[in-house]
Amino acid sequence: MATKDKLIIFDTTLRDGEQSPGASMTRDEKIRIAKSLERMRVDVIEVGFPMASAGDFEAVRAVASVIKESIVCGLARALKKDIERASEALKTAMSARIHTFIATSPIHMQQKLHMTENQVIEQAVAAVKQAKQYTDDVEFSPEDAGRSEFEFLCRVIEQVIMAGATTINIPDTVGYNVPHQFGSLVGRLIENVPNSDQVIFSVHCHNDLGLAAANSLSAVLNGARQVECTVNGLGERAGNASLEEVVMTVHTRQDVFSCTTSLDTKLIVPTSRIVSTITGFPVQPNKAIVGANAFAHEAGIHQDGVLKARETYEIMRAEDVGWASNKIVLGKHSGRNAFRTRLNELGVTFRTEEELNVAFANFKDLADRKHDIYDEDLHALVSETSCEKSEYFKLVSLKAHSETGEIPSAQVTLLVDGEERKAESNGGGTVDATFCAIETIAASQAQLQLYSVNNITTGTDAQGEVTVRLQKSGRIVNGHGADTDIIMASAKAYLHALNKLVVPETRAHPQHDV
Ligand code: KIV
Ligand code: ZN
């Protein structure tokens, strides 16, 4: 049997995923997700855009110093200052990659960059040469390649390979391409660029038409050997190609693909849960592979078939993507050491004993209300504990009343910048009444754009995880809260979002600001 090529999985959940409105992550959250990606044996982890902000620089630096098995990558525009900043952030990485890019489509060059073709080539070549001084592993992306002119694309790519690029990534930045066309573009580039055999061709597809995974896979059939993707398909606008769909298609259809990945697919669902918990972006129930219904058989005829022979309706085994790996890890009687050890395994470390004590007290409180504690519960708990540290609005008490024939009401007491404030409100339901009472105190005038509730694990004693999205003056933030009591989880989520809104944010977007 012919040996299969390796398909490199480049995860950009922490960079492009973070460009989803409201999905910004803290340094510690990025570390936890990066550790999970490393455990899953993702080959390259793109952690951020170090030039975006001091916070993003610090996140890339911190992840670079803890990840040992995967290549750690930082994004940089084809600009001297960006590449210097990325190389500084990646200094401590065991294996570092700089990913530099510049737009090559006529519309981007004319309207955004105001540059000629030759100027773009010159800047791209200079950027690759500069990046090469810091690391051998340099990736170049002609942004909006999917709408670029073929001859020009060939010229840029040939030149950056001569300058030392080792990976050429072809982005469908605006999700405009369709599978046969995008596959053929990548195939023709490999055929026509004279030095294409010196590099790995990669693809980076956006999901504006729902074709990101299909376009990526079509490119793989035409010679691409790296796919850039995100967990749960998170990403700018409609998102990126989803890691789970790309990986499981290649694994399930080995009769079609002449390559394979090194991923431990059993960690797909646990990683999806971690990303969802941390970002507050719930996974839709019918999402392929990681949605709650992905392996649930509703129709009686299907259930009957599956019981007789699984293959009648299932093309993958739920266990192979990690659905069965929901292990009970801790409980009421677990001690501080067991708690600390499990969290260390999940990539969570405490800077001080005090931090550990607060998290452990929260854990004990949860274990009193919930019999079995899973990894997902621990992730939610740690997210909450780290939010509590920097709270401007802090929940002191909440009393909600719901009774047949009565108007639902809520009484809320908050600490606002250290001062106790109380409010009472009615509402359409107890959640609505709680939000109205909080708003009476906070007077944020933020608009509620999304309210959603998900069970973190199964059972009626499971923690409900609530996501609240608020918008104010064009800024969007997501808040999340988890609790065995949904009203409490909702209040926590609302306050989490409000606390984000009170902190001014200055963050450059890699593709909007040159
Ligand atoms: O979508 C895109 O073009 C990007 C590039 C920075 C690779 O995210
Ligand atoms: Zn992108």
Q: Report the C-alpha gap between 341 and 359 in whole angstroms.
A: 13
Average pLDDT over residues 260-284: 92
For residue 348, which amino acid is it? V
Average pLDDT over residues 409-413: 97
What does the angle CA 239 – CA 274 – CA 458 come to, to the nearest 5 degrees? 110
Number of neighbouring beta carbons within 10 Å of residue 41:
15
Q: Report the C-alpha gap between 201 and 186 in whole angstroms.
A: 8
Task: Tell me which of 264 and 303 has the higher pLDDT.
Answer: 264
- In the reported structure, the alpha carbon of residue 173 is separated from the centroid of ligand 1 by a whole-number distance in angstroms of 6
Mutate to test the pocket of ligand 1, among 206, 216, 226 (most ligand atoms within 8 A of CB): 206
Verify whether ligand 1 is closer than 6 Å to residue 141 (CB atom).
yes
Among candidate residues 487, 493, 498, 485, the one with its CA nearest the CA of residue 427: 487
Ligand 1 atom closest to residue 228's alpha carbon, by position in its atom list: 7
Ligand 1 atom closest to residue 145's alpha carbon, by position in its atom list: 3
pLDDT (0 to 100) of residue 480: 85
- In the reported structure, the alpha carbon of residue 203 is separated from the centroid of ligand 1 by a whole-number distance in angstroms of 10
Verify whether ligand 1 is closer than 6 Å to residue 17 (CB atom).
no
Token pair for residue 168? 């050429």
Task: Tell me which of 462 and 303 has the higher pLDDT.
Answer: 462
Among candidate residues 334, 333, 332, 314, the one with its CA nearest the CA of residue 323: 314
pLDDT (0 to 100) of residue 307: 67
Ligand 1 atom closest to residue 12's alpha carbon, by position in its atom list: 8
pLDDT of 370 > 90? The answer is no
Mutate to test the pocket of ligand 1, among 16, 44, 156, 216 (most ligand atoms within 8 A of CB): 16
Token pair for residue 317? 């085994």
Q: Report the C-alpha gap between 51 and 56 in whole angstroms.
A: 7
Verify whether ligand 1 is closer than 6 Å to residue 235 (CB atom).
no
SS3 207: coil
pLDDT (0 to 100) of residue 508: 83
103: which residues sit within 8 A by CB, 6+ positions away?
109, 112, 113, 120, 142, 143, 144
pLDDT (0 to 100) of residue 323: 85
- Residue with CA nearest ligand 1 atom 5: 143
Q: Report the C-alpha gap between 289 and 236 in whole angstroms.
A: 21
pLDDT (0 to 100) of residue 285: 86
Average pLDDT over residues 469-482: 88
Smallest-distance ligand from the CA of 509: 1
pLDDT of 20 > 80? The answer is yes
* Residue with token string 């019918």: 286
* Residue with token string 């606390």: 499
Smallest-distance ligand from the CA of 203: 1
Verify whether ligand 1 is closer than 6 Å to residue 101 (CB atom).
yes
pLDDT (0 to 100) of residue 302: 59
Confidence of residue 261 (pLDDT cuts 50, 70, 90): very high
pLDDT of 373 > 90? The answer is no
pLDDT in tens, 425-468: 999 999 999 999 999 999 999 999 989 888 777 778 888 889 89
- Residue with CA nearest ligand 1 atom 1: 173
Confidence of residue 306 (pLDDT cuts 50, 70, 90): low
DSSP collapsed to 3 states, 301-334? HHHHHHHHCHHHCCCCCHHHHCCCCCCEEEECCC
Reported pTM: 0.88
Verify whether ligand 1 is closer than 6 Å to residue 143 (CB atom).
yes
- In the reported structure, the alpha carbon of residue 424 is separated from the centroid of ligand 2 by a whole-number distance in angstroms of 45
- Residue with CA nearest ligand 1 atom 4: 173
Verify whether ligand 1 is closer than 6 Å to residue 222 (CB atom).
no
Based on its alpha-carbon atoms, the radius of gyration of the chain, rounded to whole angstroms, reads 24
pLDDT of 311 > 90? The answer is no
The upper half-sphere exposure of residue 509, i.e. CA atoms within 13 Å in the direction of its Cβ, equals 10
